[in-house]
Amino acid sequence: MTFDQTALFVLFGAVFVLLVWGRIRFDLIAFAALILGALLGLVPSGEIFTGFGHPAVIIIALVLIVSRGLMNSGAVELIAGHLLSASRSLSGHIGLMSVVGAGLSGIINNVAALALLMPLDLEAARKGERSPGLTLMPLSFATILGGMITLIGTPPNIVIAEYRSDALGQPFAMFDFAPVGLVVAVTGIAFVALFGWRLLPAHFRKPPKQEGFAESLYSAELKVGKIPDDKPLNVGDLYPVADDKDVVIIGLIRNGRRVRGFARREPIKSGDFLVVEGDPKAIEAFMGAAKLEFAGSERHKGGLSGSALSLLEAIVPDNARIIGRSAFDMRLLYGQSVTLLGISRQGRRIQKRVRHEIIRPGDVLLMLGTEDRLDHASSWLGVLPLEGRKTGMIQRNKAWLAIAGFVLAITAAVAGLAYLPVALAACVVLYSATGLISGSEVYSAVEWKVIVLLGSLIPLGQAFENAGNAQLIADGIVALTAGAPAWITLAVLMIVTMTLSDFLNNVATCLIAAPISVQIAGSLGVNSDPFLMAVAVAASCAFLTPIGHKNNTIIMGPGGYRFGDYWRIGLPLELLVLVVSIPAILVFWPL
């Protein structure tokens, strides 16, 4: 081997060891490897940072931003809101959640799909008095499987499509992955729903002990909008919705005065306020389900261009300016354009109107407004925002706008009317212009560590291929399977790729395995497409460990999983994927 070949093998070996070790951030490892490769002359100086402008990097970033916009609009909530049912069997619940998770993963990023559905699954586990560990792993695996169906569903598909463009002159199209992806996803979902969850350790059959910091319960006021004359409504009519969203209705306010008692039988009129108690996410969900508003909603710019609103929780220290005064006294709404939606006072209920309640040290305030106004108001009031306790307000009036914009972008890309990154970028511009995503969300939605990882490894992967390393590995696999049918070689490639993906980031695995697959196809004198498709499927199948895919890492804490729990479902699932995907690949992508 040449110096460049040896150095690149050593460099990638070191990257592999450090990524598996897990003590150093993976983006830092990749970027350091890129700089070291440049210093050693392995990567030409003119190509060092070309990876950051690669279409695959741009597409992944744009998909994450579009996913945030769809979630902010409530478009995904239209589907997800019908998933919880106490009467559904465990297998039925897992099957339904898995189908929806897989479907969402096909149109938004699979990490975003899990982030949306995981709270619903945790809520279903709480209501069913069972461990969330029984259902979170099947849900995570289903979202990973669903991402294989479309080009934008998972980063490996994007990487493989763009590599095909570089190597063969034409990328895979949006739904080229669908035939094989659907076969794998349907089979995998059937397995995890019917059998997979039964393979988990017995201790998951017992409800977990409630530990940790509980959500603060706030007393909040929600404004009743226009009520049709032909559909009279009592307070008690909203109890089922409140129960479903984990909110308690504790009173009614009319003409500035509290109606005596809980007012269960009191007719609701336009302009009334419902007094409710719950945590911020539950209050927001109830507000949307019951079509309620909030005090001062007319002062927050609405319509299609309205800014994104958030709920912020902030604690009141001893020296806060607002102590001894109310939000009304401070003119919080009219002076700061921020609404005091609720107050949490160590489990005690607030007796007065929320905006007229005198604030005490130790109170926790639930404030609503745009991000910049919330920051300014917090500083002005002297309150301290709680870290990680900000809840986005879903802009449900823009759901169909968000769906239309996304469908139009994908249609334009599939029809060849627009380059996919340009179509997705236009969708991002639409979402930003209509207030679905704020300027800061455009940047916060992007997983920058993945972007740095991908941008750093693309030039290294190109150098790895140009130096002949991919050909060396390909020759080794071909020699190992000499005399065997081509599908055996395909299977070996998938096994190697799956193994790497379980310990490496799936993007990194793709960048290493993609050139190897093309070299193998060239050595065998067969079509490269089935081998590229095999890498796309295998790189996404990271089911054995919590570090192979971010979704598996996300569920580890909430599900109470240990490192060794994943292989119980993951190993048979990976074997099943091999069994069904190889024939499917050979049928839809003949050699």
Per residue in 320-362, pLDDT (tens digit) is 999 999 988 888 888 888 888 889 887 777 777 888 889 999 8
DSSP state of 217: P
Q: Where are the beta strands (DSSP E) in 410-546?
A: none
Q: Average pLDDT of the chain?
A: 84
User: How open is the CA angle 506-511-516, to the nearest 5 degrees?
Assistant: 115
Type and span of the H or E element at 223:
strand 218-224
The CA distance from 521 to 517, in Å, is 6
Per residue in 429-479, pLDDT (tens digit) is 999 888 888 887 888 888 788 788 778 888 887 887 788 877 788 788 888
Burial 569-587 (b: 16+ CB within 10 A, else e): bbebbbebbbebbbebbbe
Any residues with CB less than 8 A from the CB of 231 and at least 6 apart, and which? none
pLDDT at 297 over 70: no
The residue type of 479 is A
Per residue in 169-197, pLDDT (tens digit) is 888 888 899 999 999 999 999 999 898 88
Beta bridge partners of residue 249, listed in sequence order: 276
Backbone phi, psi, residue 575, to 5°: -65, -40
Would you tell me the crossing angle of helices 90-107 and 110-127 to the nearest 10 degrees? 160
The CA distance from 179 to 287, in Å, is 41
Per residue in 18-35, pLDDT (tens digit) is 876 768 887 898 899 999
**Mean local confidence (pLDDT), 407-428:** 86
Environment class of residue 257 by beta-carbon count within 10 Å: exposed (0-12), middle (13-18) or buried (19+)? exposed
Q: How many CB atoms lie within 10 A of CB 194?
A: 12
pLDDT attached to residue 71: 77
